Amino acid sequence: MIVEFGHFALVLAVVVALFQTAVPLWGTLSREPRLMETAKPAAILQLVLFLVAFLALTHAYVTSDFSVANVAANSHSTKPLIYRISGVWGNHEGSMLLWVLILATFGAAVAIFGNNLPLSLRANVLSVQASIALAFGIFMLATSNPFLRLDDVPIDGRGLNPILQDPALAFHPPFLYAGYVGFSIAFSFAIAALIDGRIDAAWARWVRPWTLAAWMCLTLGIAMGSWWAYYELGWGGWWFWDPVENASFMPWLAGTALLHSALVMEKRETLKVWTILLAILTFSLSLMGTFLVRSGVLTSVHAFAVDPERGVAILAIMTIFVGGGLTLFALRAGELRHGGLFAPVSREGALVLNNVLLTTATATVFVGTLYPLLLEGLTGAKISVGPPYFNLTFVPLMVPLLIALPFGPFMPWKRGDIVAVSQRLILAAVLALVAMVATMALAQRGPWLAPIMMAVGVYVMAGSVQELTYRAKIGSAGRDEILRRLRNLPRSIYGTTLAHFGVGMMVVGIVATSAYQTEKVLVLKPGDTAEVAGYTLTFKGVAPHKGPNYREQVGTIEVMRDATPITTLHPSKRIYDSPPQPTSEAGIHASWRGDLYTVLGDAQEEDGGYAFRFYFNPLVRLIWLGALVMFFAGGISLSDRRLRVGAPKRTSRADTPAGAVAAE
Partner 1 sequence: MILWIAFAVVAAAAVAVLARPLLAEQHGVTASAQEADLAVYRDQLAEIDADRDRGLIDSAEAESARTELARRLLQRSEQSDDAAQAAASLPKSLSPATIAYATALAIPVLSIAIYLALGSPSMPGMPQSARLHHSPAQAGIDELVAKVEAQLRETPEDGRGWDAIAPVYLRLQRFGDASNAFARAIRLLGETPKRLRGFAESTVLANNGIVVEPARLAYQQLLTKEPGDHEARFWLAMADEQEGKLDAAEKGYRSVLTDAPEDAPWKSVVEARIATIAAQRSTTEATGNSQSGSKQAAGGQSTANADAGTKPSPPETSGAKPPGPTSADIAAARELSKDDQQAFINAMVERLAGKLDKNPDDFEGWLRLVRAYSVLGRKDDAGRALVSARKNAEGNSERNARLDALAAELGLGI
15 binds partner 1 (CB under 8 A): yes
Q: Which span (27-35, 273-281, 297-305, 373-381) binds partner 1, by CB under 8 A? A: 27-35
Q: Which span (90-98, 110-118, 213-221, 374-382) binds partner 1, by CB under 8 A? A: 110-118
Closer CB to partner 1, residue 485 or residue 540? Answer: 485
* Choice from 33, 534, 565, 582 touching partner 1 (CB under 8 A): 33
Please state the closest distance from residue 483 (CB atom) to partner 1, in A: 13
Q: For residue 232, is it left (φ>0), alpha (ψ between -120 and 50) or beta?
A: alpha
Q: Which residues pair with 197 in a beta bridge?
A: none
Contacts 24+ apart (CB under 8 A), 373-381: 373/243, 373/297, 373/298, 373/301, 376/300, 376/301, 376/302, 377/301
Please state the closest distance from residue 212 (CB atom) to partner 1, in A: 18
**Range 121-160, binding partner 1 (CB under 8 A):** 121, 141, 145, 147-149, 153, 155-156
**Range 374-413, binding partner 1 (CB under 8 A):** 412-413
Please state the closest distance from residue 26 (CB atom) to partner 1, in A: 8
26 binds partner 1 (CB under 8 A): yes
d(CA 452, CA 407): 19
**Range 628-657, binding partner 1 (CB under 8 A):** 642, 645, 647-648, 650, 653, 656-657
Closer CB to partner 1, residue 267 or residue 593? Answer: 267
**Range 276-335, binding partner 1 (CB under 8 A):** none
Q: Which amino acid is at 333?
A: A
Closer CB to partner 1, residue 57 or residue 402? Answer: 57
Please state the closest distance from residue 646 (CB atom) to partner 1, in A: 9
Closer CB to partner 1, residue 393 or residue 656? Answer: 656
**Range 450-479, binding partner 1 (CB under 8 A):** 471, 473
* CA distances (Å), origin 435, targets 399, 428, 623: 17, 10, 18
Closer CB to partner 1, residue 310 or residue 589? Answer: 310
**Range 477-506, binding partner 1 (CB under 8 A):** 485, 488-490, 493
Query: For partner 1, how many residues bind (rule: CB under 8 A)?
Result: 88
List the one residue out of 167, 48, 149 whose CA is nearest residue 93.
149
Please state the closest distance from residue 81 (CB atom) to partner 1, in A: 13
Please state the closest distance from residue 246 (CB atom) to partner 1, in A: 33
Closer CB to partner 1, residue 299 or residue 652? Answer: 652
Terminal Cα distance for the chain, rounded: 53
**Range 183-222, binding partner 1 (CB under 8 A):** 196-198, 200-202, 205
Closer CB to partner 1, residue 558 or residue 577? Answer: 577
Neighbouring residues of 148: CB distance < 8 A, sequence distance ≥ 6? 68, 69, 70
d(CA 139, CA 248): 22
Neighbouring residues of 242: CB distance < 8 A, sequence distance ≥ 6? none
* Choice from 42, 322, 510, 588 touching partner 1 (CB under 8 A): 42
Q: Which span (16-24, 159-167, 300-308, 498-506) binds partner 1, by CB under 8 A? A: 16-24
**Range 257-276, binding partner 1 (CB under 8 A):** 268-269
Neighbouring residues of 91: CB distance < 8 A, sequence distance ≥ 6? 70, 73, 74, 160
Name the helix (H) or strand (E) containing 274.
helix 272-294
Please state the closest distance from residue 419 (CB atom) to partner 1, in A: 18
Closer CB to partner 1, residue 155 or residue 381? Answer: 155
d(CA 129, CA 437): 53
Q: Which residues pair with 89 in a beta bridge?
A: none
The per-type count for the chain, helices as H runs and strands as E runs, is: 25, 10
Q: Is 518 in a helix, a strand, or coil?
A: strand
Closer CB to partner 1, residue 138 or residue 440? Answer: 138
d(CA 584, CA 562): 29
Neighbouring residues of 657: CB distance < 8 A, sequence distance ≥ 6? none
Q: Which amino acid is at 133?
A: A
Q: Which span (4-12, 398-406, 455-463, 528-536) binds partner 1, by CB under 8 A? A: 4-12
Closer CB to partner 1, residue 12 or residue 363? Answer: 12
Closer CB to partner 1, residue 11 or residue 523? Answer: 11
* CA distances (Å), origin 340, targets 30, 260, 266, 277: 33, 17, 11, 18
**Range 44-83, binding partner 1 (CB under 8 A):** 44-45, 49, 60, 63-67, 77-78
Please state the closest distance from residue 524 (CB atom) to partner 1, in A: 24
d(CA 130, CA 181): 12
List the one residue out of 209, 224, 185 whose CA is nearest residue 635.
209
15, with CB counted inside 10 A (0-12, 13-18, 19+), is: middle
* CA distances (Å), origin 455, targets 436, 461, 508, 615: 5, 10, 8, 24
Closer CB to partner 1, residue 347 or residue 573? Answer: 347
